[in-house]
């Protein structure tokens, strides 16, 4: 009798475990869902709206180019063709809207950079966070960046203003790796003349190059970000 009851319990628990596997989504399935979401995002005429229904960013239908094509055209992306270069090793897509005033961050240099951004959750098809609001206007996200032989490391600064929107929302000073990809190609400076503008990029960042929440929940984000050198 005891053996029969034990066998029944084993079969019942096994059934529950199998049911749990059926109901749950594997990491491979989550990654495939992410890839499908990015592919759909690339191929539709995306328009991002504010919560009030006003057009915020017209992303458009994206044309991807290889890294070799990107380098062949002087590390630029053609805006008329709405080009984004895809970096195969990270899965990050990048469009350089403006290379910006100033100079590239050189080896051994450290700079404090003001970033203003909009984050769009591609999987949920909605704006997730942004500091392009009146609330964050005087409290932008500030990152401290250093270049070591072409490798960029950075953290969100919380000593100047207590931290911006990204720190407030996600509670971490870690800068998403995807945010650092443009630093190899853009200039970091300030607008000192009427005909100068600070650097601006658009990115598609997979979960592996995103912040902790994106990494944990396996979703990609689209970003529009400006980079401006901060006065010491």
What the chain holds in terms of domains, given with CATH numbers, is 27-229 (3.10.50.40)
Could you report the per-residue pLDDT of 101-124, keeping only the tens digit for each?
999 999 999 999 999 999 999 999
CB 66 within 8 A of CB 86: yes
Q: How confident is the model at residue 195 (pLDDT cuts 50, 70, 90)?
A: confident
Q: What is the pLDDT of residue 24?
A: 83
Share of the chain above pLDDT 90, in %: 84
Q: What is the pLDDT of residue 21?
A: 37
Helix/strand/coil for 53 = coil
> Across residues 157-186, what is the average pLDDT?
97
> How far from chain centre, in Å, is Cα 156?
15
Q: How confident is the model at residue 191 (pLDDT cuts 50, 70, 90)?
A: confident
Q: Which residue has the higher pLDDT, 16 or 151?
A: 151
Could you report the per-residue pLDDT of 2-23, keeping only the tens digit for each?
333 333 333 333 343 333 334 5
Q: How confident is the model at residue 146 (pLDDT cuts 50, 70, 90)?
A: very high
Could you report the per-residue pLDDT of 196-231, keeping only the tens digit for each?
899 999 999 999 999 999 999 999 999 999 999 998
Q: What is the pLDDT of residue 6?
A: 36
Cα 224 to Cα 37, 57, 128: the distances in Å are 18, 9, 12
- Residues 56-88 as b/e (b if ≥16 CB within 10 A, e otherwise) read bbebeebeebeeeebeeeeeebeeeebbbbbee
Q: What is the pLDDT of residue 231?
A: 81
Q: What is the pLDDT of residue 15?
A: 41
Residue 151 pairs in a beta bridge with 148
Q: What is the pLDDT of residue 232?
A: 67
DSSP-derived letter for residue 86 is E
Q: What is the pLDDT of residue 192?
A: 80
For residue 79, is pLDDT > 60? yes
For residue 99, is pLDDT > 70? yes
For residue 1, is pLDDT > 50? no
Could you report the per-residue pLDDT of 27-49, keeping only the tens digit for each?
999 999 999 999 999 999 999 99
């Amino acid at each position: 009798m005891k053996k029969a009851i034990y066998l029944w319990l084993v079969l019942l628990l096994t059934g529950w475990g199998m049911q749990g596997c059926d109901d749950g989504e594997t990491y491979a399935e989550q990654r495939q869902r992410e890839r499908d979401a990015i592919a759909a995002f690339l191929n539709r005429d995306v328009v991002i709206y504010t919560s009030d229904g006003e057009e915020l960013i017209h992303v458009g239908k994206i044309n991807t180019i290889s890294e070799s094509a990107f380098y062949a055209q002087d590390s630029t992306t053609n805006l008329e063709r709405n080009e984004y270069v895809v970096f195969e090793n990270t899965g990050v897509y990048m469009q350089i809207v403006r290379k910006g005033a100033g100079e590239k961050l050189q080896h051994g240099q450290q700079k404090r950079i003001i970033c203003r951004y909009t984050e769009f959750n591609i999987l949920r098809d909605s704006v997730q966070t942004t500091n392009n609001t009146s609330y964050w206007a005087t409290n932008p996200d500030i990152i401290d960046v250093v270049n070591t032989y072409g490798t960029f490391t950075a953290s969100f600064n919380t000593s100047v203003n207590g931290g911006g929107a990204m720190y407030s929302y996600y509670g971490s000073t870690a800068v998403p790796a995807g945010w650092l990809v443009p630093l190899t190609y853009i200039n970091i400076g300030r607008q000192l003349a009427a005909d100068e503008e600070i650097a601006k990029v658009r990115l598609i960042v997979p979960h592996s190059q995103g912040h902790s929440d994106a990494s944990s929940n396996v979703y990609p984000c689209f970003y529009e970000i400006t980079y401006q050198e901060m006065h010491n």
